[in-house]
Structure formats: C-alpha cells, structure tokens
Chain A
Amino acid sequence: MNEVNKNNLMLEVKNLKKSFGNREILKGISFSIKAGETVGIIGPSGCGKSTILKLLCNLIEPDGGEIIKYSNDISLVFQGSALLNSLTVKENLSLALRNKHLSKREEAEIIAEKLKLVGLSNFANSYPAQLSGGQQKRTSFARAIVIDPKIIFYDEPTTGLDPILSTIIEDYIITLSDQLRAAAIVVTHQLSTWTRTTDRLILLHAGEIKWQGKPQEALETADPYMRQFALSSRDGPILVG
C-alpha cells in the first residue's frame, strides 16, 4: 500500500478531454476516488460513460487532461462480457492471472474460490458460448476480481440482468469494496445499483459533470438535471433523441 498517497487517493482525473471526429464527448472532466470508495457515474446513453472507463484503462488516448493511478492492479468489467471465446471459464480466469506467475496449485485455488463466489463452480470447464448472458456476466465479473484489483471499473454490471441477479452482483460490488478496499467506478442506469453500491454519484451530460453528491441527496436535490434523472422524467433540461 506504499504507493497510496497521504490522502488515500487511488485515482485522480484532471480536466479529461476526448473528441471523436469533431464531436466533443468529454469537455474537461475532473474527479478523484479514494481507496475503498465507490463512485457511480450516471447519464444518458451516449454521453461518454464507457469512454471515460476506456480512457482510464488506456484503451484509448485522451485529447487532453491527466489521469493519475496509484496502483497498477486495475480491472474493468466490460459492458459486453468480453470473455475470450476460445477459452473455458477457468482458462479465462487463468489468463487474468498470467502476469502473477503463481504456481499451478495456487492459481487453481484462487480460481475455484472466485468461481464459488459467483456461483459458477460447476461451469469451470464450459465455454462462454455455452453460458447464459447472466452467467457470462458473472464470469466476466469473476475474471475482473481474480487479481484482487486495487482499482476496478464496472460498465453497466447489472444491465439486462433479472432483479435477483442484479442484487447478487450489487452485493459482490459492495463486498469487494469492503474486503479489498478497492477504489471503484460503477457506470449504471439502474437506480437500485447506484443507491445500493455507491458512496458518491456523478451525473454526466453533454460532456460535463452536471451534478455530484451522495446517492441519498440525489433523490432529494432540486437540481433540475439530477431531479429529471432520479425521477426518470421526460420533462427537464436533458433532451433525448
């Protein structure tokens, strides 16, 4: 933990900018996350939530600004599961551990433990194509947490899951941040997900942070943007379509 600075910060983002062609998606976004803290990012579809996560994972280059990460143990749960199709569930998890150079036994133990956590012990030797969407998502989840990340990003982890499975995934997110003291970002559209899992919420719209605060405050605020979002209303400053 010596890499963590005095303020316990795990991630700092300063004035992050990104355009695709002449469309400015992010117009200078700044925020920071401490160890053990979970930040929710919400906002209309196409506002750049996944883009932020891809920038944070170095999958795309920012046009401006700064990203400081205080750990190299970073995981991303992709919006689609992004499992390697040619590998079994077990092999997918093993791939994530490749750079840890563990003994075969240690590796097998860790993988078994994580698969048990997500309830997929019986599917260790299945291929992704043989799993349901929910099972793929849970595998993707297990793959992300198998390295005990210090920074973890979830891109719509509960979208498309039934309410029970959503609750299970939300519980994992909470458990993980408690157990590992990881800094986390949860991108989500689902009210239950951000009210249950996050310590702080950021509302993104038109390339800017329009509102941020605690999830409880989000439900009560008079801010027109946040209010429209929390009430799922079509009337308000956010125009869709």
Chain B
Amino acid sequence: MTSIKTKSLNIIGYPIHSLENNLMGMFKHIGQVLIIYYYTLKFIFQGKIDYKETFKQSYMIGVKSFFVVSITALFTGFAMSLQISRELVLFGADTAIGGVVSLALIREIGPITAGVMVAGRVGSSIAAELTTMMITEQIDALKVMKINPIEYLVVPRYMAGILMMPILSIYAMAVGLIAGIIVAQVAANVQPATFLDSVQQTILDRDFEVHFLKSFINATIIIIFSCNIGLHTRGGAEDVGIATTRAVVWSMTGIFIANYIVTALTFIPR
C-alpha cells in the first residue's frame, strides 16, 4: 500500500513525506512516553510497588552491568586523563590535573558512561522482553486478569533503574578516577597525593547533585522509553529485533540530549 503512495511522489516530495511521518511518529512516541510515565509515578506514589520483583530487576539492571561499566569507565578514564595530563603539563598546571579530571568524571563521564552501557544492555533487553510478551499475548493475559501492565511490569523496572543507576554512575566515576590517578603518575609524574588534593579543592557538593540528577534522568529515559517501545510493538518475531534497536537508539539519543541540557543549566564558574 505504502509503496504505491511513495512511487507517485516526486523526488522533492518523498523526503518531505518521510520527514512528516517521522515527526508524527516522534510526537506519538513522546505522547505515549508521557502517559506511561504518569501512570508509573501514580502507582509508585500509591505505594503499589512489588518489592520482590523490584529486587529481581535491580539484580538484572544493576549487578549484571557492573562488569561492562568497569571496563568502559576504566578505559574512558585512561584516555581522558592522558589527554588532559599532557595538555596541562605543557601549561605547567600539573597540580590542576586531578581537579579537571575529576570534574569531568563526576559531571559528565560517570553518568554518561553508565547511562550508555545500561541503555545498551538493559534498554535492549527490556524492549525485547516486553515486545515478546506483547506478541505472545502475555500482556493481554495480564489485562484479562485485571493486572495493569504498567504496575506489574514498568514500576519494578523503573524502581530498579532509579536505584541502581546512581550506584553505577558513582562507581563509573570512581573507576575513572583510579584510571586518572594511574595515568597522571605515569604520564605526567603527578603524585596521587597531589592529584587527590586537587580533586578535593575543585569538587563541590553541587557537582554530586548534578551527578545524581543526571543518573536519575538517564534511568528514567532508558526504562520508560524502552518499556514504551516494548508495550506498543505489535506483530511477529521480526519486530522484536526492530524494537530492540529502536529502544537503544531512542534511549541513547535521549541521554545525550538530556545530558547537555542539564550541563547547560547547572554550569557554575569556579
């Protein structure tokens, strides 16, 4: 059906047509996300939280992400510290290395590294799981049993997400910091004590607030976007793969945009 429509459109018309479709799709998606988020918060405030399921999901989301987060945070920390150390040494600002590295880690790298890894690991698996449940009518079965799928499926995942994400982010920051201390000593001959001294002088409580705000937002974006895609996909087995990809793309795009907005709004000159 659509192929006939597309063929009749001219070269200029086609991209406009598809842009229109994409925009419509985007607004629809955002509308659905807001509705799901509203009900998720409503159930949470009503205390309708399945703690057993939340615990299970926390394990899936948090504990199982530690390894990948460790690796990525370690190497991001290495690369960033190497770059910063070498630049600052040229300016004779060796003693500022710790401050700059830790600032970048706590405000940007920690939350984004953990966010990207969780989006890849957890966002995809949530979308795949819920889409499969849609296709095999498990979600319909819940509805017939008068169990709200948002309460039963989204709430525990969201609770687990907002509990585990800050832990993963702060952990990513700590791993990055260790990488920074190592690189600063090896590449710029800065002693760990000097490095940590600089960290202490630079980092404010505000930076931790930004860190936790970002991890909260990242968890919200990943879990709600992925659940939304899962709960709105119909069709067959091939749609599971499509939903998975969509969940990762949407989550990551969302995280990067939100990250910038928070950074811009919370910038403080030192």
Minimum Cβ distance to chain B for residue A205 (Å): 25
Cα A153 to Cα B136 in complex, Å, equals 18
Q: Is A99 among interface residues, defined by CB-CB distance under 8 A? A: yes
Cα A85 to Cα B141 in complex, Å, equals 12
Minimum Cβ distance to chain A for residue B147 (Å): 6
Contact at A84–B138, with CB atoms within 8 Å? yes
Cα A96 to Cα B147 in complex, Å, equals 8
Q: Which residue from A75, A80, A98 sits with its C-beta under 8 Å from B137? A: A80
Assuming the contacts A78-B137, A82-B136, A84-B138, asked whether A98 and B144 have C-beta atoms less than 8 A apart, the reply is: no
Cα A59 to Cα B142 in complex, Å, equals 10
Q: Is A76 among interface residues, defined by CB-CB distance under 8 A? A: yes
Contact at A82–B137, with CB atoms within 8 Å? yes
Contact at A58–B143, with CB atoms within 8 Å? yes
Q: Is B145 among interface residues, defined by CB-CB distance under 8 A? A: yes
Contact at B140–A82, with CB atoms within 8 Å? yes
Q: Is A89 among interface residues, defined by CB-CB distance under 8 A? A: no
Q: Is A57 among interface residues, defined by CB-CB distance under 8 A? A: yes
Q: Which residue from A74, A82, A99 sits with its C-beta under 8 Å from B141? A: A82
Contact at A83–B138, with CB atoms within 8 Å? yes
Closest to B56 in A: A86
Binary contact track A96-109/B, C-beta < 8 Å → 1, others 0: 10110000000000
Contact at A78–B140, with CB atoms within 8 Å? yes
Q: Is B146 among interface residues, defined by CB-CB distance under 8 A? A: yes
Q: Bin chain A's interface residue count.
A: 10 to 19
Contact at B138–A85, with CB atoms within 8 Å? yes
Closest to B50 in A: A98
Contact at A54–B147, with CB atoms within 8 Å? no
Minimum Cβ distance to chain B for residue A123 (Å): 19
B145 neighbours in A (Cβ, 8 Å): 95-96, 98-99
Binary contact track B131-172/A, C-beta < 8 Å → 1, others 0: 011001110111111110000000000000000000000000
Cα A138 to Cα B141 in complex, Å, equals 15
Closest to A85 in B: B138
Cα A10 to Cα B143 in complex, Å, equals 20
Closest to A78 in B: B137
Contact at A59–B147, with CB atoms within 8 Å? no
Contact at A80–B144, with CB atoms within 8 Å? no
A57 neighbours in B (Cβ, 8 Å): 140, 143-144
Contact at A59–B144, with CB atoms within 8 Å? yes
Residues of B within 8 A of A (CB): 132-133, 136-138, 140-147
Residues of A within 8 A of B (CB): 54, 57-59, 74-76, 78, 80, 82-85, 95-96, 98-99
Given contacts A57-B140, A99-B146, 4 further A-B contacts (CB under 8 A): A57-B143, A78-B141, A80-B136, A84-B138
Q: Which 4 A-B pairs have the closest CB atoms?
A: A82-B137, A82-B141, A76-B144, A96-B145
| 28 pairs of residues in contact across A and B, judged by CB atoms under 8 Å | A57-B143, A57-B144, A59-B140, A59-B143, A74-B144, A75-B144, A76-B141, A78-B137, A78-B140, A78-B141, A80-B136, A82-B137, A82-B138, A83-B138, A83-B141, A84-B133, A84-B138, A84-B141, A84-B142, A85-B132, A85-B133, A85-B136, A95-B147, A96-B145, A98-B147, A99-B145, A99-B146, A99-B147
